Structure 1
Amino acid sequence: MQSQDVAHHRASAHGPVIDVEQAEAALVEHYPRLVRIAYLVLPPDLGRNRRVLTAHALVQRALPRKRTVAAVIPAQSGRRRGASGSARPGEADNRKGAEGPDGDPAYLLLRLRVLRSALEAGLPLRCTAWPKRSQLPPLLPQLWGLRLFPRSGGADELALDQRLSSLSGPARAAHVLRGLERLPEDGVRRLLGAAGVADPSAAIREAAAVPAQDTLLSSPEFDPCSLQARPTDLMRRRQHGKAALAAAAAVAVCGALLALPSGGWGPDGAAAPLDAQNPAARAALEPDRVTRVASTAWQTSARTDFSVWPARGGLTGDRALLRRALAVWARPGESVQVSATPGTPSGGPAGPPQLLYAGQVDAARVVIFHDGLRIVRYAEPKDGTSGAALDFARVDSATGAEAQALVLNRADHNVRYLTAPWVTGTAERDLLKPSSGAMDLRPVDGVTAPLASPARQTGSCTSWNVLQLTDGSGTRLLADLGELVPAHLTVGTPAAPREASGAAALRTWAPLACSLGAVRSQGVRSVNAWEYARQSLPDGSGAAAWVCTRADTWRGDAPRVLAHFRTPGGRSAAVAAQAEGVAACGAKDPHVLAGVLWKSAQGAWYLLAAGSEDTATVRATAGVSGSARGNLLAVRTEQGARAGLRGTLTDGRTVGGLR
């Protein structure tokens, strides 16, 4: 293995001489690209605000003070253009003629200096050696009273950021050079060696575990030049300001001037005086004022909702944990991952909330509150507070099955639930296997054992595990759809749905289970499956089932209505039609009409259609002609035919087919 000095000498021995003016022009022209590289390579544990400031500082310090010999580092192997030849968004400022910045020796010099500094910033401090300049917080740029961070991306960007955080600094650099700079493997190896990496090949092998995704690396999630601003911890600033004011008054007036917050003479600057603040808002942040329901309250109450859940968990008396949870709820910092189901407000508490749980679950400390409208879950690692998460879920008017379980924690594709105190039986059941039994989850103080969650299932759907709960009134099924509150599964007519726990109901849901993936993370409250028609097939091979599923949300609308068609003996049902935001297949409009092209065993094609039982006639329009009395239609047609459907109800109204 060559030493770092030898590698650096070999990389720079024959490069051109770069003037300071030439380097400055390249830095200004390609500044956003260089800052993005520094931001991606810097260690994620610095926090997003400090990573942004440090990335800008490293690039600005990369400007040489005198004429410098540029390193001979290979240009990227391919251009970063799509098939149309246009550059990706955000990279128009990185182009230099037709060649791009990689043909500019000044850019190559700056890229090497930035990469070396970013890698040095991730090295641990040692007491036996002076710290390098890049390992210290940057003197400039600095910003008081605000935190800066890039705009949030989607789930793909978050997943990539988490995977990059698990890599070492050299491996992150290898991934960035391969995905963002499009360097070949040999070029990455040479550039890492020039930047001081002891074993570039090991870094490349480690980076290979994360697939190169240049589109995601170029997204606003990793753009430290397009920023959002949020205030720093205002309460902590206020407390520090008071302490500094008291200390400064004891030593000197100049000390007080330096320590006062917001540049004002008062302890709170331009804020309202302490006695003029809203007492309800202050009380909401006091751990001692959190509402705690007695453990036996549910036994004498006529209510079956979250308001009668007792406070459970081994950390309900940890005032410091509760204070952190309440403070993050009121003003989440930049490092907090905040999520909310659609239609759920994410503001702070209006008054002291009700405590449902506080305890350690797997590798996290978890606190769950209820404020009458929302469930709020705070989670932090058990060995620190960095990487905390805050989740909101709307639960207004939740009662019965909708208030029987909450997601306590997800880890390694498993999920743990906290169940209502009146639940007497907890089990796991696979919807795809209706004849198989349920596995007891053995809850302890309402906390279930982990069960495999389908919420993040990708690829083929081979199982769909649901939570089966039993109480004094019956057995219910709840499905994890990636949110705090699992969705209630039912079967039957929209006007009178029933629980999906019986044998017949399980057989109804078995071919439909995988379709639940279409309504993940949409704030779903309940999903009802209704077999609205059965139709004899034209070739005499049996009767097909027509089933519609409707997912209703906590905000009152339906994200998706699906019509399913299942042939005799089929393990899964085909989606024949779907619609969003419609009243069909629901309590307000218990009617549905859908059609599908079906091929018989003999190779003949038919248009099959079915409506609910109060459909008087069905007619095919557009590309297929045919009609029938009653709610069933079968018309011979050709492969690929397109048709519209119109139905007439027994009361004379017309309905259109779902699409």
Structure 2
Amino acid sequence: MQSQDVAPRPSAGSATDPVVDVEQAEAALVEHYPRLVRLAYLVLPPELGRKRRVLTAHALAQRALPRGRTSTPLIPAQAKGREGDPGYAFVRLRVVRAALRAGVPLSLRALPKRAQLPPLLPQVWGLRLFPRSGGADELALDQRLSGLSAPARAAYVLRGLEKLTDDAVYELLAAAGVDDVDEALEEADAVPARYALLASPEFDACSLQARPTDLMRRRQHLKAALVAGAALVVCGALLGLPGEGWAPDGAAAPPYAQNPAAQAALDPSRLAKAAPAAWESAARLDFSVWPARGELTGDQALLRRALAVWARPGEKVRVSATPGTPSGGPAGPPQLLYAGTVDNARVVILYDGLRIARYAEPKDGTAGAAVDFARVDGATGAEASAVVLGRADGNVRYLMAPWVKKAAERDLLKPGSGAMALTLTDGATSPLASPAAQQSGCTSWNVLQVTGEAGTSLLSDLAELVPARLTAGRPGSAKDAAGAAGLRTWAPYACSLSAARAQGVRAVNAWQFARQPLPDASGSADWVCTRAETWRGGGTQVLAQFRTPGGPQGAVAAQGQDVPACGPRDPHVLAGVLWKAQDESWYLLAAGSRDTASIEASGGVTASGPGPLLTARAEQGARAGLTGTLTDGREISGLK
């Protein structure tokens, strides 16, 4: 449960702060290790490259332990969950100081600092490690941060990731040795405050992808070390292997296996292609009955490059995958869904029964190629109706299923406005504005409205290959949100979909579970629960949102991660919020689903009452725990 008013953060520490010993620091390091590594990774200079940034970030975090008992004359303010922990503040300061030193160029006039040198440990031989790639928003933020100085980058990250005030950031950077902190803060102000993106997998240096280094070169070097003369023979033999060398595979890495099954999966002549009318007689409408479309379906060289890059992406290929989606090569020949030109790129879309893979390369070469993966197992009907063809200038194009008769663009924030028809050319839509490209604010949320065999559905772009299906209604009986009632339900809560970007979301349901009269007689507030289900099953996000009469948008009052609440397995929910009336009085408002027999509050507010609604006097900033009892006697706890 959260208050809608944010209390001021505690002030920075002073010289009387407690002593930090190695045990305290070690406990903080172990508990918050992923956060500290992410912090170091974001502050380190991008010029190091992704692999060296990852290894250096781990090295800096692991070297942050003190050698013994250490006093802490300055401990900047702590974010929620770490407040009052001098061990964490001390370790964080050492990590930031080392990351800033790592960005200082080497000079002949001074001995190098330890942080300026490549880390001795950890080391990984034979593999390239790098975080999972995010979406267009994360890439844009990474580029903006790379243009900042190291102190400004640190200021931005401490504001966004650590939730520190400018005063606390000032004290921390000053303690880390930054000469002009004011200049760093001003420089950081130039980057839009898109702090939520800092929690993206794009910047998680503890959740990594692994790719082999140049295996052929390693083999050559090994044999050259054994017998110099034999190395020449081996190099000549390798260059003379069949398969036309490296050039036909474009941006793919050199081949490192001659497994017959793997080779068959990479043969463009073996690609599966559904008949144009296969979907009309199919028992199941899914991606397997999509015909191959696009003007380049016969371009064998392009298809060969797409398959080769899928199986072994080169070092400069940008690879991204939704959470829980494997990015390895196909087990057998996949199915071709599309091959054609989209804007300024050649695009190939493939399907292997579990994943959609999208390969894209520039029209004038293969430099800058990218391959994206999305998990789509079990997708049918509306969930298998659209795949992203391309993104450009804040717009998105889709490839539609063959059973889609009409496609249109609709602003979810304006339920009364009509839908604008989109043209369909060989299954491809005309461009529509993508909410995933919004840089700041939320003045509109455009969704894709599709009409097909099973009716009309709404799909929202969440910066992934496959848009998420939007539904509305009580869990277990929810329906597509394209109807008038569904549009009205979603309108005040559309902007909350931004919290589900790049999370591998399959569908999002909105359910108004309660309506509560306000204690100052100013009307009734709505309680709505939104639940984002993912393709992988885990990672489910639940938001309980509260909206007062006439409010344009709902406010998140409570949330849960990987909880059954508000879902088909457990169609119950309980949440609360601190609310200030017009006469400046504060109240605890709590609501549960209609089968809630009673609600009890404890902690900062002690109250109870029968039924699914509870209203109680409270103090500003009070925190309370909620417990509900259902009509069948089962207890449920409130979302936090």
What TM-score bracket applies, with the shorter chain setting the length? 0.5 to 0.7
Q: Paired residue for 2:619? A: 638
Q: Specify which structure has the bigger relative contact order, considering alpha-carbon pairs within 8 angstroms and separated by 6 or more residues.
A: 2
Give the drift of 1:282: 1.5
Aligned partner of 1:298 among 273, 279, 287: 279
1:230 partner amino acid: P
- Find out whether 1:88 has 2:105 as its counterpart: no
User: Which ranges in structure 2 are unaligned for 5 or more consecutive residues?
Assistant: 1-43, 52-90, 113-124, 154-186, 193-197, 221-227, 243-254
Verify the 8 A CA contact 2:386 2:399 in the aligned structure 1.
yes
Distance 2:353 2:426 in 1: 23
Aligned partner of 1:231 among 208, 213, 218: 213
Q: How is 1:197-596 mapped onto 2 (pairs within 5 angstroms)?
A: 230-232=212-214, 258-261=232-235, 278-596=259-577
> Structure 1 residues 48, 341: closer, same or farther in 2, change over 3 A?
closer
Give CA deviations for 1:286-318 in whole Å, capped at 9, x if unaligned.
100000111111111121100000000110000
Give the drift of 1:535: 1.3
1:260 partner amino acid: V
Give CA deviations for 1:412-446 in whole Å, capped at 9, x if unaligned.
11111111010011011111111111111111111
Range 411-420 or range 154-163, more displaced: 154-163
Verify the 8 A CA contact 1:315 1:358 in the aligned structure 2.
yes
Give the drift of 1:609: 0.9
Give CA deviations for 1:372-399 in whole Å, capped at 9, x if unaligned.
0000110111111011111111111110
Verify the 8 A CA contact 2:133 2:321 in the aligned structure 1.
no
Verify the 8 A CA contact 1:293 1:309 in the aligned structure 2.
yes
Give CA deviations for 1:244-266 in whole Å, capped at 9, x if unaligned.
xxxxxxxxxx9996253398999
Give the drift of 1:473: 2.0
For the aligned residue pairs, the C-alpha RMSD in angstroms reads 4.0
> Structure 1 residues 587, 487: closer, same or farther in 2, change over 3 A?
same
Give the drift of 1:367: 0.4
Give the drift of 1:642: 1.6
Secondary structure, counterpart of 1:89 in structure 2:
helix
Distance 1:229 1:423 in 2: 39
Distance 1:157 1:491 in 2: 30
Secondary structure, counterpart of 2:435 in structure 1:
coil
Range 381-390 or range 598-607, more displaced: 598-607
Give CA deviations for 1:594-621 in whole Å, capped at 9, x if unaligned.
1111222232222111111111111111
Secondary structure, counterpart of 1:327 in structure 2:
helix
Matched residue pairs, number? 482
Question: How many percent of aligned residue pairs carry the same amino acid?
Answer: 62
Q: Paired residue for 2:7? A: none
Verify the 8 A CA contact 2:408 2:449 in the aligned structure 1.
yes
Q: Paired residue for 1:129? A: none
Aligned partner of 2:595 among 603, 606, 614: 614
> Structure 1 residues 466, 295: closer, same or farther in 2, change over 3 A?
same
Secondary structure, counterpart of 1:514 in structure 2:
helix
Secondary structure, counterpart of 1:490 in structure 2:
strand
Structure-2-length-normalised TM-score? 0.68
1:386 partner amino acid: A
2:235 partner amino acid: P
Which entry has the higher C-alpha Rg, 1 or 2?
Answer: 1
Verify the 8 A CA contact 1:406 1:419 in the aligned structure 2.
yes
Structure-1-length-normalised TM-score? 0.66
Distance 1:374 1:536 in 2: 47
Verify the 8 A CA contact 2:133 2:319 in the aligned structure 1.
no
Give the drift of 1:539: 2.1
Verify the 8 A CA contact 2:322 2:502 in the aligned structure 1.
yes
Q: How is 1:170-189 mapped onto 2 (pairs within 5 angstroms)?
A: none
> Structure 1 residues 640, 148: closer, same or farther in 2, change over 3 A?
closer
Distance 2:421 2:522 in 1: 40
Distance 1:327 1:259 in 2: 27
Q: Paired residue for 1:599? A: 580
Give the drift of 1:229: 7.6
Distance 1:497 1:371 in 2: 30
User: Which ranges in structure 1 are unaligned for 5 or more consecutive residues?
Assistant: 1-35, 42-46, 50-81, 109-145, 166-171, 181-207, 241-253, 269-273
> Structure 1 residues 87, 590: closer, same or farther in 2, change over 3 A?
closer
- Find out whether 1:627 has 2:608 as its counterpart: yes
2:321 partner amino acid: A
Secondary structure, counterpart of 1:401 in structure 2:
helix
Range 457-466 or range 326-335, more displaced: 457-466
